Amino acid sequence: MTVNIDIDGGIAIVTIANPPVNAINAAVRERLLTLAQAFDKDPAIRAVILTGAGALFVAGADITEFDRPVEPPFLPDVVARIERAAKPWVAAIRGAALGGGLELALGCRMRIATGTARFALPEVNLGIIPGSGGTQRLPRVIGIAEAIRVVAENHTLDAAEAVRLGLVDAMVEEPLLPGAIAFVRVALDKALPLPSLDRPLSEPAQEIWTEAEQRIASHAKGASAPLQALEVLKCGIEQGAAAGLARERATFLSLRGSEEAAALRHLFFAERAAMRPADIRGTAPRPVDTAGVVGGGTMGSGIAAALLNAGLSVVLVEQDAAGASRARETLASLFEASQRRGQITGEEVAERLGRLETNIGYGGVERCDVVIEAVFEELAVKRAVFSELGRFCRPDAILATNTSYIDPRLIAEGLPEPERFLGLHFFSPAHVMKLLEIVPTPETAPDVLATVFEIARRLGKIPVRAGICDGFIGNRILRRFRTEAEALVRDGVGIAAIDAAMRGFGFAMGPFEMQDMAGLDIAFLHREAARKRGEPVPDMPGDLLVRAGRKGQKTGGGWYDYAPGDRRPQPSAKAERILAPLMGPRTDMAGEVIVARLMATMAQEGQAILAEGIAASAADIDLVEVHGYGFPRRRGGPMFQLGRADANRV
């Protein structure tokens, strides 16, 4: 049974027990509706307490139902029935009350909560808006300005904030139910507060809407749900709750069926699945308290910052005193920047730096449970590091290389206990970027793999397991993507037109703007090395630019020109002249055709990666693109796009 009933002296206790997160599915809706009707007819029942089993109240509607047509009874009707019940319902909340869970609580006449309670309407993260009255009841309970933050800007209220705003009528201690029953008995002897929807609300100043619209639009990254949520809020204030509810339902249903919502749901489940790969489920991770990082450059410092942010102690190995103090300064300035943004306090900056030890040479690594090498991307240099680590580290310490291209098996050659070794490909800046490609070798032990997945979870990363090939998952697709973008240039399509098309699709930058920012020389050197090895690598347009000294922004020009101190790309006649020998006659290509061609290329490479077993699932490939390469989240990833294109063709 997903909803349990107890009766205590005239008070019915309704517990939603639908593990793991008490999501509201059709069975829960049906049962709640039936119960509300039955209790109203039962003279022995005076009031109802609604609660959730376990550590949380209710995480919202069951998202797995959203790929199917809506099924009655509908949640807005259930919430409305509870709100109008003759016997008052009181929500007793511990842990999260999210989405439809908060909407159910808003349908109750009162809410009591423990200190662990938190309240949010995260629907916009899923490309939808609250669909069970949340946009109309919440502003009438906590006021419009706060409701805008919760409904359209994904703000979470903690228990104290919820009490201050009047969302929670009283705080109770654990155990929750005895406290809730005592509260209800007292409350029944007094006048009850008005139902949420009947509470009066005065129209706010017009500026509140214009300011919110600007704020939301600037953060939405092209997503449509947040602004639509604001519109629905506004409708309910200006035209009344009934009009607001009707508008909310229509908007919810239309967004529920949108491609954007399907993409965001796909990523929601992909992100959760990535955390728990089937083959290591049940394998206990090794304990990890202290991590070593070899190399304190940009990547090494970023990795150290991520580890320190996650509460680990870090031993950072540098070659000399200058390198060690530079790394400490880099980390201090990263944490101080977080402090300036209000993310951490001055004490937290000091505490994090207190867990950092910067050493010259390998002293201290013998205490490390895991060591991550982040030195120059050259096989001999990396091998030298691991030969030292093999001597200094404990035999059970996990050793990882942060390589983006080199075969980890070559790096590990000669390492004692190779089963504790694997590749961990972080993305720069490593304390910010969510993606972590995990690249085991055939010898990596299962508990080593389980441990790095656990470390990734602690670091707040999205871990994706990748097989060994040139570029693993992400850089391999990136190379194909860039080659195809350059092929478009050869076909005569304008550089700026290609970039504009990809920005229009939702990337923050087009492929050429991106290359100019990152520098064209690394990929060029890569191709040159392959040519030296005798591999048949044809001349690419980018090669011509690098040979002419145009390596991107850092040299004042690449695909575009840049004025000194200005990062805005300007079309470059010089670049066009250099590229002329490889460019076909100028042709106009529609933005969607450019996008379709580049998407098809990415997906094709993705399919090859899947076929070779380099990625475990298509969803993993999408996670790599979204979390490591700026693929627009609302588009779901290249493999999701391929699935949609195929579905539309059928």
Binding site for ligand 3H9 (CB under 6 A): 20-21, 23, 59-64, 75, 96, 98-100, 103, 122-123, 126, 130-132, 134, 269, 272
CB 247 → ligand 3H9: shortest distance, Å? Answer: 14
Cβ closest to ligand 3H9, residue 96 vs residue 398: 96
Nearest position to ligand 3H9, beta carbon: 99
The gap between the terminal CA atoms of the chain, to the nearest Å, is 40
CB 453 → ligand 3H9: shortest distance, Å? Answer: 13
E strand or H helix that includes residue 91:
strand 89-93
Residue type, 561: D
CB 176 → ligand 3H9: shortest distance, Å? Answer: 18
Q: Which of 61, 152, 261, 327 is catalytic?
A: 61
Cβ closest to ligand 3H9, residue 127 vs residue 510: 127
Cβ closest to ligand 3H9, residue 67 vs residue 566: 67
Q: Which of 52, 96, 103, 113 is catalytic?
A: 103
Tell me how many degrees the CA angle 478-452-307 measures, rounded to the nearest 5: 90
Per the rule left: phi > 0, alpha: psi between -120 and 50, beta: everything else, 311 is: left
Residue type, 35: L
Q: How far apart are CA 117 and CA 111, in angstroms?
A: 11
CB 338 → ligand 3H9: shortest distance, Å? Answer: 23
Cβ closest to ligand 3H9, residue 269 vs residue 376: 269
Coil vs helix vs strand at 56:
coil
Give the phi and the psi of residue 51 in degrees, each rounded to 5.
-140, 175
CB 56 → ligand 3H9: shortest distance, Å? Answer: 6
CB 556 → ligand 3H9: shortest distance, Å? Answer: 46
Cβ closest to ligand 3H9, residue 355 vs residue 457: 457
Answer whether the bond into residue 175 is a cis peptide, omega within 30°: yes
Q: Which of 52, 95, 100, 131 is catalytic?
A: 100
Tell me how many degrees the CA angle 306-311-315 measures, rounded to the nearest 5: 70
CB 132 → ligand 3H9: shortest distance, Å? Answer: 5
CB 563 → ligand 3H9: shortest distance, Å? Answer: 45
Nearest to 172 by CA among 119, 118, 116: 116
Cβ closest to ligand 3H9, residue 61 vs residue 306: 61
Structure tokens at 329: 């300064």
Cβ closest to ligand 3H9, residue 242 vs residue 321: 242
Q: How far apart are CA 214 and CA 227, in angstroms?
A: 10
Q: How far apart are CA 102 and CA 97, in angstroms?
A: 5
CB-count exposure of residue 440 (10 Å: 0-12, 13-18, 19+): buried
Cβ closest to ligand 3H9, residue 61 vs residue 147: 61
Q: How far apart are CA 93 and CA 17, in angstroms?
A: 13
Structure tokens at 188: 């029944």
Query: Is 637 among the residues known to form the active site?
Result: no
Per the rule left: phi > 0, alpha: psi between -120 and 50, beta: everything else, 403 is: beta
Structure tokens at 539: 């001349």
Calculate the CA 625 to chain-centre distance: 12
CB-count exposure of residue 11 (10 Å: 0-12, 13-18, 19+): buried
Coil vs helix vs strand at 461:
coil
Residues 6+ apart with CB under 8 A from 153: 215, 216, 219, 226
Calculate the CA 513 to chain-centre distance: 24
Write down the H helix ranges in 355-416: 379-392, 408-412
Structure tokens at 550: 């145009």
Q: How far apart are CA 644 and CA 601, in angstroms?
A: 15
CB 606 → ligand 3H9: shortest distance, Å? Answer: 23
Coil vs helix vs strand at 89:
strand
Query: Is 61 among the residues known to form the active site?
Result: yes
* Cα–Cα distance list, 626 to 74, 427, 601, 620, 621 (Å): 33, 12, 16, 10, 9
Calculate the CA 34 to chain-centre distance: 38
Cβ closest to ligand 3H9, residue 123 vs residue 499: 123
Query: Is 213 among the residues known to form the active site?
Result: no
CB 269 → ligand 3H9: shortest distance, Å? Answer: 6
Coil vs helix vs strand at 291:
strand
Structure tokens at 220: 């939405």
Query: Is 271 among the residues known to form the active site?
Result: no
Pairing outcome for strands 370-373 and 356-360: unpaired
Q: Which of 36, 83, 123, 618 is catalytic?
A: 123
Cβ closest to ligand 3H9, residue 231 vs residue 561: 231
Cβ closest to ligand 3H9, residue 122 vs residue 440: 122
Coil vs helix vs strand at 233:
helix
Cβ closest to ligand 3H9, residue 159 vs residue 397: 159
Structure tokens at 206: 């017009």
Q: How far apart are CA 131 and CA 31, in angstroms?
A: 19
CB 389 → ligand 3H9: shortest distance, Å? Answer: 33
What's the half-sphere exposure (Cβ side, CA atoms, 13 Å) at 183?
Answer: 26
Residue type, 259: E
CB 62 → ligand 3H9: shortest distance, Å? Answer: 4
State the catalytic residues. Answer: 61, 100, 103, 123
